[in-house]
Structure 1
């Protein structure tokens, strides 16, 4: 009996040594789960990988109505926190949703690139870094050797109508264009480098001022701040007002007002709005002085005219008296 006990102890010692040795050897065997429907669980019974035909009751709520879904689900043992990843085999889509505090959240579509760094929304064949074709929007970037390095297109229908925002790395400009019937029209240009940096052009590609507009401007109010001297000096006593005669001679020779650019000069160079306003104000003030002067002369003529009329009336009365005296003298001499 004692020999038998020693033999059992010897076997247990050998078995324990083999188990200890096996713990130090990495497992290189593959795990195979038998079956044809993949309806098996690893770990918790609710943490499963299942095929599209079987699964927990929560799996009945697919992302949409298409067929052939395959789903992967993980969850805690108490079923309060879960996650589901669904694969739509027909549309080649992937959707994700979470189960938080025993409530399933909405499905969210997982967007991945096509392997070339391009992501498509509403399309399986993206043409740019981000291609949103279903909503008529396209965002992309070009190679450095092309003119437009980056752009955003918002088009309606077959790209015949829409808006295009582009960044030009060669001309250093940000441009907004509209498209009508397939024809682009430049609407807004903002250079971001060079001597025209910070300028804004509307309807033109090369704005030379802070705001350059190729067309009409309609506004309810325009306020201009300027450091140009307002010509109130015209009303000073020392101001040498050009006479009407001199102005007439200047106009006859030059065919425009003094100190005002000619039509040819304006056509070639344009004019400064603030400066022109002050020039025109000066002419108005000079004209006002001439009008005042003419009014003074007119008032003087009126007074003179009234004096002449009074004198004329007195002379008429004297003539009448002289006539009567002549009549009396004639009567006396005849007697």
Structure 2
């Protein structure tokens, strides 16, 4: 009974001396820290002066100092974290070199091994392994972001994703082995094997088809509008100040299957009646020029041609407008032919009169 009393007395003395620490290995039982839990050989071995830390595993928090609110689980987890605050390292050698980084979450063997950045979340064996001062990164997947050293604000998700970049900020890589060139900014690659090589760019897939409004795209980009006979596409931010002098002999068109194709300036009609050759069909009613003049005087444009106000409001159908313009040219040809006929008849009459005068 006397020995039992002595044992409990010794425990009480150690508890007071360690200021409410729970030390499961006697080498650290004289730690001056506050409310720490240390379990494992050499865990928290050096002067553990911080508080509210939990170290579990061989040499976990080995060189811990005044840092606090840390949780290290695994052999050598957070081994060199002297001044770190609010870090969670789970896995052998996770956060091993972290000296002063704060608010990091690292889960997996060797994850964030070289880390000294802050506010990072690394999940997966050796994810973010070489990260030194990069901060505010999210790396998720086996060796995701493995080579990153100084890049910040990056999101890299997927096994082997982002393994080639060492720096660059504000990038997003999602998918198995999705990659980016070094030093990019605001670059995004989504999809297995996708790769982006310039800043401020978005890459979708690797030799993949992209569908908008469809789950089964058959080309690189297929857009299915919710409204029939509506492309679902819009080009905006084009104003009257947009350059109109630049021209090309190519433009985008749509074939009979709905595919967008590159084509020359070629307009098509559905049937011959939509074209202007009807002007030359016998029986075509050509308006007298006197009626045309009255119409022009009243409306300030040719009959059958939309006014400037109508064009500004409604636009024009290029096929119909071209047909109308050619119709006016053909009507003008008929007027000229009539004038030529009248002139010829008049000349004949004049010649007859001259002959009579000579007699």
- For this structure pair, what is the TM-score category when the shorter chain's length is used for normalisation? 0.3 to 0.5
Instruction: Normalising by structure 1, report the TM-score.
Output: 0.41
Larger Rg: 1
Q: TM-score, normalised by structure 2?
A: 0.39
More helix by share: 1
